[in-house]
A and B are shown apart, each in its own frame.
Chain A
Amino acid sequence: MTSTHVPTVRILVTIWAVLVVLTWTTVTVSHIELGPWNVVVALVIAVIKASCVGWIFMGVRFTSPLTKLFVVAGLVWLTIMILITTSDYATRRWDYHAQPWANTKDNGPATAP
């Protein structure tokens, strides 16, 4: 299978070192109070680490275009799941029952007396 890429030891160890440094970085940054930015920094570092593992260790970089398409499609579906679910929770009126115009005793379909 000559068309398969054999990674060099150098690149593998480099990726390993990057992952270790990023782990140290994310732990260190988490001790600094950045408000909402703590979450952003933690997730950005996690995405970079995951990309390093996927791109080199898992060899997505060296796979066929069809495999790449499958990987991207999987990530797109993951994004759809998270985005649409959170957008629903973010925009729905969860305080409906507390509204003065809402019948708080019975929110079900109207029934005959």
Chain B
Amino acid sequence: MADALTTTTAHTDLEVAAATNLRHHFATPQQQFDSAMLGMWTFLITEVLFFGGMFTSYVVYRSIYPEAFASTSQYMNVALGGTNTAVLICSSLSMAMAVRSAQLSKYRAVVISLILTMIFGTTFLVIKYFEYHDKWVEGLVPGLKFDVAHYHAPQWAHQAQILFFLYFAMTGMHALHMIVGLGLLTYLLVMAVRRRFNSAYYTPVEMIGLYWHFVDIVWIFLFPLLYLIGDRG
């Protein structure tokens, strides 16, 4: 608090409050920050349990139809999925760098890090689009276009659709979170260009950073479960 404000011209309580965006119902900027932190984590826990429900159904159905789920492995593009994993890891690094730069009042570095994060996030979604497109062409979209006749393991064609349903539900919900994240990053970028974040106040960068890392963690589990385990031949 104190050393951050020596770089600004804040001297009175009102000026301190203005420099740290302190709302009147908080006693100190630290208390306000800790409250935001706890609230964000509470939200992320509900997100963990939201995705956890889908992971649980994945575990249940995989244990009931192991052969059918394994038969879907050859339709998963490990190269694209692996690339996307690397892309998301890079986006997490640039996001962490954005938070760090904001903590140190490095205005240009915040903007550059946020732009990099958005580029990585967009790259992920573009690759995901091509994967979805392949699934559609190959007739692997349950309910809309599932080509039972041409499924390589006809005896599992019906149960395998459960996995493809879970694939689209889980990666689709993940992609939706990415899109929301890109929207939040756009907001951060606008604010960062206006130099609204510095060592005295960077809460939004930290909170949206937590969200972005959480979405990365979801993909860290989706990638091995959907792409890697099963019958790789």
Report the minimal beta-carbon distance from B196 to chain A, rounded to whole angstroms: 15
| Chain A residues, CB < 8 A from B33 | 1, 4
Determine if B224 and A46 form an interchain contact, defined as CB atoms under 8 angstroms apart.
Answer: yes
Interface hub of B33, B41, B59, B216 (most chain A Cβ within 10 A): B41
A interface footprint on B189-215 (CB within 8 Å = 1, 0 otherwise): 000000000011000000001100110
**Are B100 and A23 in contact, with the CB atoms below 8 A?**
no
Chain B hits for A71, CB < 8 A: 41, 45
Contact B45 A70 (CB under 8 A): yes
Interface contact B41-A53, CB-CB below 8 Å? no
Q: Let me know if A26 and B1 touch, CB within 8 A.
A: no
Q: How far is the CA of A32 from the CA of B220 in the complex (A)?
A: 20
Q: Which residue of B lies closest to A11 (CB)?
A: B96
Tally chain B residues at the interface, Cβ within 8 Å: 55
- Asked whether B89 is an interface residue with its Cβ less than 8 Å from the other chain, the reply is yes
Q: Which residues of B contact A67 (CB under 8 A)?
A: 34, 37-38, 41
Q: Are B82 and A39 in contact (CB under 8 A)?
A: no
Contact flag A46-B232 (CB < 8 Å), given A1-B33, A3-B30, A12-B93: no
Residues on A with beta carbons closer than 8 Å to the beta carbon of B95: 57
| B72 interfacial contact with A, CB 8 Å | no
CB of B4 closer than 8 Å to a CB of A = yes
Chain A nearest CB, measured from B101 CB (Å): 10
Tell me whether A104 is interfacial, beta carbon within 8 Å.
no
B153 located at the interface, meaning its Cβ lies under 8 Å from any Cβ of chain A in the complex: no
* B61 (CB) vs chain A CBs: closest residue: A89
Residues of B within 8 A of A27 (CB): 78, 82, 228
Q: Which residue in A2, A38, A73, A86 is a CB contact (below 8 Å) of B63? A: A86
Chain B: residues with CB nearer than 8 A to chain A? 1-4, 20, 29-30, 33-34, 37-38, 41-42, 44-45, 48-49, 52-53, 55-56, 59-60, 63-64, 78, 82, 85-86, 89-90, 92-93, 95-97, 100, 103-104, 199-200, 209-210, 213-214, 216-217, 220-221, 223-225, 228-229, 232
